[in-house]
């Protein structure tokens, strides 16, 4: 197999429409310009200065002409004579976004109408030795989808309804956290592949069963052959302490056999064990000659979905290697509107942050993309399970034969590309389609929805055929009866926030598995500063409101802020208070559902990341700056959690453990004064079974009529010291007489890039935040409360010198009502 990468420098231009020009068009775009492949039209136009940065202020509005045009990409490339002697030369395009026509030397090679599918166009008969030209024309995705909508008749779809006709990342048509930047372009790698004897197709290592004693693995690969010579495939299997080699003759369409691995090293989700990775290298041989070689990496684990009738309805529990796993995680969206420019380092940073926040699962949401390989490789290594949606969101979808054909091909290719990754534990049909439909049509069945055929028939059949080792689930959310039930299946909890309910309502929710719930929080001040001018920096300026895409989003931020905090008097205070409310909201929900273990078996909040600078539900903003809620997540997802449940007049103390071993500890409950003085204290021994949750004790120390300057502090103590703590205050921050905490801090260098920052509080300090305005600065903890007289050391990693860090470090706490 010989291959030539066709990526790099290309040319591109807009094609002048025969009718009128779209509004605002920059006619310079009709000349040939330099382009970068893989890439998008938008990023190429930004690089050429034809459009400004659409993330800046409201410039998004000025670039809307881009998606109304057709665009042509073109490159010249050399074909060595030797290549043409091969039996086949294919053009392999991993992703064309979206309605594309491919021509080689002026002749039509093929078309594409789905950005999610990889294409292999036979190209040999179009090629000549020496210089060749490849051209790809992209139709306007918006005009094409509107045209299809007109022919088909409208569907019930949220946001831009015509989007349902385009097999294209649905968020690119605009979402309630993202701008409308409907891209086109060669968004993934493109290359030539030449071969003669044959090539391998879709090698797979499928775990049929696995116990600590033995795993049974099926190894298989298809073979596309040219000619009749006998071929064989050698498979070299490598693992943590094992290597073996097998050779099989190719019969029919390929090879397929099972092997037994004694004492396998099992792959576990984060927090439950290690993530050993095995590999299988497939080599296609014609006698001694190597025709093709492909490697797959896999992990040995089993997964199933446990759904058993119980008093609350029916359970919904993921079971890995026969162990129930309480799922803790977040929803994932594409990290940019322009996916080809996302560096691997961004995936690495975001997913490591998820792992460091004690998450064990990430949901790839159906309005984005089947993610890049690097995403799944990282999840495999970090022990992050993946709940993988198919790419459909919030609407009906066509059921025409041509659309179903596209969907079938897309699903087959997505499942085939991703099925070797141990991280993927579940395939899910779509995001919220059935739920929205049944909400709009009370009393209807999900089967009445146009598109039901896709999620009920087409997709599960693909999973059964190509990946029967994983469960398929029809939608998120789905369940028996109404498809967003609290009694069965999984749930999206949007009464809170979207339906204007405040976060204490979370504690009424008894869902079995929550794949979405969330609360907005503003991005960091410096993240907004990079896309605004000083005059914009007001919570209700047109520019800041433009950077919140939910209808009445800003109104909600302010309404919920008013419930808990005094109204902010500066933009910075708006950000700080907004982030604090978000953090407390997610904490309230996660602690509640963790206490219900396994009545509730999963908590995934909406959402981990962002695609542009915005006030959204994310806990990490688009500049990768964590919000307060991110640090809260590290605590509310800790393997052992001590929490306080407020009941009428009483405060229950709970300990929740995800550990596979029993826990012996002591709970200390204290009534504290802001000065740091302990007013009352009690201690209780705790003996907790593995993987369990227990109400340990209760007190009646705060509540109605109690002093607002007293609060409850609980700590969980083991021989290793304090392994968890939590606090409950007598009033909302706006009504707390918070004193000046008298914060002091010092910095010591631990190693070249690591520093210990010790913060001391003279009196109670709430939501202490350490800030250095530099992107490479990371703290291992932040946004925490400090009792009067207490100190805490935080590890800071940065490339700054100790002097620069001391100079630039700001440490502040929330201010109380009377200090505003
Ligand atoms: C659900 C998600 C997203 C949306 C979020 C916030 O509807 O699936 O579509 O962004 O809630 O509204």
DSSP 117-186: S-EEEE-GGG--SEEEEEEEEE--HHHHHHHHHHHH----BSSSGGGGGSBS-GGGG-BTTB------EE
Q: How far is the CA of 606 from the centre of ligand 1 (A)?
A: 8
Quick one: 222 and 346 in the same domain?
no
Q: How far is the CA of 400 from the centre of ligand 1 (A)?
A: 27
What's the pLDDT score for residue 705?
Answer: 79
606 Cβ inside 6 Å of ligand 1: yes
Residue 293 lies in a domain: yes
Q: pLDDT by residue (tens digit) across 223-244?
A: 999 888 999 999 999 999 889 9
Residue 422 lies in a domain: yes
Quick one: 725 and 624 in the same domain?
no
What's the pLDDT score for residue 461?
Answer: 98
455 Cβ inside 6 Å of ligand 1: no
Using CB atoms within 10 A of its CB, is residue 574 exposed (0-12), middle (13-18) or buried (19+)?
Answer: buried
What's the pLDDT score for residue 815?
Answer: 81
Cα distance between residue 449 and residue 433, in whole Å: 9
What's the pLDDT score for residue 816?
Answer: 67
| Residue whose C-alpha is closest to residue 33's, from 16, 52, 9 | 9
Residue 163 half-sphere exposure toward CB, CA atoms < 13 A: 25
Domain end marker among 579, 606, 634: 634
Quick one: 463 and 524 in the same domain?
yes
Give the nearest ligand 1 atom to 177 CA.
Answer: 10
Residue 306 lies in a domain: no
Quick one: 715 and 742 in the same domain?
no
177 Cβ inside 6 Å of ligand 1: yes
Q: How far is the CA of 492 from the centre of ligand 1 (A)?
A: 9
Residue 211 lies in a domain: yes
Q: How far is the CA of 793 from the centre of ligand 1 (A)?
A: 37
What's the pLDDT score for residue 775?
Answer: 85
Q: Domain range holding 731?
A: 638-736
Quick one: 290 and 434 in the same domain?
no
CATH number of residue 9's parent domain: 2.60.120.260
**Residue ranges of the chain with per-residue pLDDT less than 50:** 818-820
Q: What is the largest CA-CA distance in the chain?
A: 90
Q: What residues form DSSP beta bridges with 657?
A: 640
691 Cβ inside 6 Å of ligand 1: no
Q: Which of 439, 516, 557, 610 has most ligand 1 atoms within 8 Å of its beta carbon, as the pocket-test mutant?
A: 516
Question: Which residue's CA is the nearest one to ligand 1's atom 8?
Answer: 431
Q: Which of 176, 178, 437 has most ligand 1 atoms within 8 Å of its beta carbon, as the pocket-test mutant?
A: 176
Quick one: 420 and 537 in the same domain?
yes
| Residue whose C-alpha is closest to residue 444's, from 396, 500, 513, 514 | 396
176 Cβ inside 6 Å of ligand 1: yes
Q: How many degrees, rounded to 5, is the angle at CA 53 between CA 49 and CA 58?
A: 130
Cβ-contact 662, 692 below 8 angstroms = no
Helix (H) or strand (E) holding 404: helix 401-418
Quick one: 148 and 247 in the same domain?
no
389 Cβ inside 6 Å of ligand 1: no
CATH number of residue 484's parent domain: 3.20.20.80
431 Cβ inside 6 Å of ligand 1: yes
Residue 448 lies in a domain: yes
Residue 304 lies in a domain: no
336 Cβ inside 6 Å of ligand 1: no
Concerning whether 432 is annotated as a catalytic residue, the answer is: yes
Quick one: 700 and 752 in the same domain?
no
Quick one: 683 and 672 in the same domain?
yes
Domain end marker among 736, 759, 790: 736
Quick one: 593 and 671 in the same domain?
no
CATH number of residue 701's parent domain: 2.60.40.10
Cα distance between residue 711 and residue 644, in whole Å: 12
Cβ-contact 580, 813 below 8 angstroms = no
Question: Which residue's CA is the nearest one to ligand 1's atom 4?
Answer: 176
Q: How far is the CA of 550 from the centre of ligand 1 (A)?
A: 10
Catalytic residue among 193, 432, 486, 584: 432
Quick one: 629 and 725 in the same domain?
no
394 Cβ inside 6 Å of ligand 1: yes
Q: pLDDT by residue (tens digit) across 718-753?
A: 999 999 999 999 999 999 999 999 999 999 999 999
Domain end marker among 690, 709, 736: 736
Quick one: 691 and 817 in the same domain?
no
Residue 315 lies in a domain: no
Residue 303 lies in a domain: no
Q: For the chain, what is the domain count?
A: 5
């Amino acid at each position: 197999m010989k291959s030539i990468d066709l990526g790099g420098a290309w040319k591109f231009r807009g094609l002048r429409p025969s009718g009128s020009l779209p509004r605002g068009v920059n006619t310079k775009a009709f000349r040939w310009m330099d382009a970068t492949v893989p890439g998008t039209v938008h990023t190429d136009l930004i690089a050429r200065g034809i459009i400004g940065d659409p993330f800046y202020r409201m410039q998004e509005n000025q670039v809307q002409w881009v998606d109304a045009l057709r665009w042509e990409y073109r490159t010249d490339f050399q074909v060595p004579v030797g290549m043409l002697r091969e039996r086949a030369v294919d053009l392999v395009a991993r992703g064309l976004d979206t309605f594309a026509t491919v021509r080689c030397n002026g002749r039509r090679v093929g078309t594409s109408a789905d950005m999610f599918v990889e294409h292999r166009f036979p190209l040999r008969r179009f090629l000549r030795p020496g210089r060749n030209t490849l051209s790809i024309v992209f139709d306007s995705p918006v005009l094409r989808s509107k045209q299809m909508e007109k022919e088909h008749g409208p569907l019930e779809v949220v946001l831009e309804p015509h989007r349902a006709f385009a097999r294209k990342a649905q968020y690119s048509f605009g979402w309630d956290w993202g701008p409308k930047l409907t891209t086109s372009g060669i968004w993934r790698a493109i290359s030539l592949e030449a071969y003669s004897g044959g090539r391998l197709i879709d090698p797979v290592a499928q775990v049929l069963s696995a116990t600590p004693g033995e795993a049974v693995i099926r190894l298989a690969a298809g073979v596309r052959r040219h000619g009749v010579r006998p071929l064989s495939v050698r498979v070299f299997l490598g693992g943590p302490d094992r290597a073996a080699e097998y050779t099989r003759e190719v019969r029919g369409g390929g090879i397929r056999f099972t092997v037994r691995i004694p004492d396998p090293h099992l792959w576990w989700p984060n927090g439950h064990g290690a993530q050993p990775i095995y590999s299988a290298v497939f080599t296609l041989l014609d006698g001694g000659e190597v025709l093709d070689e492909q490697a797959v990496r896999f992990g040995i684990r089993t997964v199933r979905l446990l759904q058993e009738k119980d008093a609350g309805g029916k359970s919904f529990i993921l079971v890995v290697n026969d162990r129930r796993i309480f799922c803790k995680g977040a929803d994932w969206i594409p990290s940019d509107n322009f996916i080809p420019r996302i560096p691997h380092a961004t995936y690495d940073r975001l997913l490591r942050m998820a792992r460091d926040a004690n998450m064990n699962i990430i949901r790839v949401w159906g309005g984005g993309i089947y993610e890049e390989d690097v995403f799944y490789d990282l999840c495999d290594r970090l022990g992050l399970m993946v709940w993988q949606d198919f790419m459909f969101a919030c609407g009906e979808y066509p059921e025409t034969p041509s659309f179903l054909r596209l969907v079938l091909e897309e699903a087959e290719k997505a499942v085939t590309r991703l099925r070797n990754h141990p991280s993927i534990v579940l395939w899910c049909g779509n995001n919220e389609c059935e739920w929205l439909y049944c909400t709009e049509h009370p009393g209807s069945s999900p089967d009445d929805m146009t598109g039901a055929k896709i999620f009920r028939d087409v997709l599960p059949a693909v999973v059964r055929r190509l990946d029967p080792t994983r469960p398929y689930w029809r939608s998120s959310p789905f369940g028996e009866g109404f498809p967003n039930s609290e009694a069965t299946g999984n749930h999206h909890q949007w009464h809170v926030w979207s339906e204007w309910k405040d976060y204490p309502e979370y504690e009424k929710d008894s869902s079995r598995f929550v794949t979405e719930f969330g609360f907005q929080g503003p991005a960091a001040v410096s993240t907004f500063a990079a896309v605004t001018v000083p005059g914009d920096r007001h919570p209700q300026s047109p520019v800041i409101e433009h950077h919140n895409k939910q209808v009445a989003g800003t109104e909600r931020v302010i309404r919920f802020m008013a419930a808990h905090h005094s109204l902010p008097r500066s933009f910075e205070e708006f950000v700080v208070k907004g982030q604090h409310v978000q953090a407390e909201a997610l904490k309230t929900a996660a602690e509640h559902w963790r206490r219900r273990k396994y009545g509730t078996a999963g908590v995934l909040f909406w959402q981990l990341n962002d695609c542009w600078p915005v006030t959204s539900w994310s806990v990490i903003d688009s500049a990768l700056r964590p919000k307060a809620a991110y640090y809260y997540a590290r605590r509310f997802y800790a393997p052992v959690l001590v929490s306080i449940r407020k009941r009428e007049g009483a405060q229950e103390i709970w300990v929740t453990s995800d550990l596979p071993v029993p826990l012996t500890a002591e709970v200390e409950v204290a009534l504290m004064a802001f000065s740091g003085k302990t007013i009352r204290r009690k201690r209780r021994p705790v003996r907790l079974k593995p993987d369990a949750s227990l109400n340990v004790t209760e007190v009646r120390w705060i509540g109605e009529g109690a002093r607002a300057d007293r609060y409850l502090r609980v700590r969980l103590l083991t021989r290793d010291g304090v392994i968890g703590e939590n606090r409950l205050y007598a009033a909302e921050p706006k009504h707390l007489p918070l004193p000046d905490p008298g914060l002091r801090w010092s910095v010591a260098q631990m190693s070249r890039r690591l520093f210990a920052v010790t913060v001391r509080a003279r009196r109670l300090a709430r939501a202490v935040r350490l800030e250095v305005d530099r992107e490479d600065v990371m703290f291992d903890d932040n946004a925490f409360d400090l009792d009067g007289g207490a100190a805490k050391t935080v590890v800071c990693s940065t490339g700054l010198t100790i002097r620069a860090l001391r100079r630039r470090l700001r440490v502040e706490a929330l201010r109380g009502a009377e200090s505003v």
